[in-house]
Structure 1
Amino acid sequence: EHGPAMLSAEPTMVEGGKARIEYRPLGPILAVMPWNFPIWQVLRGAVPALIAGNTYVLKHAPNVMGCAWLLRDAFKHADFPEGVFEVINVTPD
């Protein structure tokens, strides 16, 4: 609920004038995550990225793919649009 306020444009002063800081989506974010903190670490990165209007592609460590699928299902259950949070399952090779 606080996301839009946190991402609103901020006026700032620059040498010789005024400016503003804007937060705009970057596009797809690829997150390659290690095995430790398999839920928290992903949420810590995914939630701000999604609030800012980006999509998120998670490549999790092979030994915690169950956590990746759980997170994908949680985002779907929370009514995030299809394709906003995706999981890819690839081998380290």
Structure 2
Amino acid sequence: MRRRAGEAAITLHPDDATARGIADGEPVLVSNARGSFEAVAEVSDRVRPGVAGTTKGRWAKFTNGATVNATVAERDSDYGGGAVFHDNRVEVRPR
């Protein structure tokens, strides 16, 4: 399943990728004050400007020790006690 899933990827809008000097297929670092993870940039208009999209479900032991979860708060939401991992502010830059 890991082979089929490929490398961790993060989708950026072309405007955001250009502003950051990131090309499609380039390795990037995704980070915030909580932590960071490495991914490959996928430049596409499938996401809106200002939005970076990735998937969850990768195991840290197979990804150099970090996944998207490294950038997420370890708490429950204030609305219903659910997960907080669906909305997260990060910066994406070339690695």
Query: After TM superposition, is the score higher than 0.5?
Result: no
Larger % of helix: which?
A: 1
Q: TM-score range by the shorter chain?
A: under 0.3
Higher RCO by CA contacts (8 Å cutoff, separation 6 or greater): 2
| Larger Rg, first or second structure (1 or 2) | 1
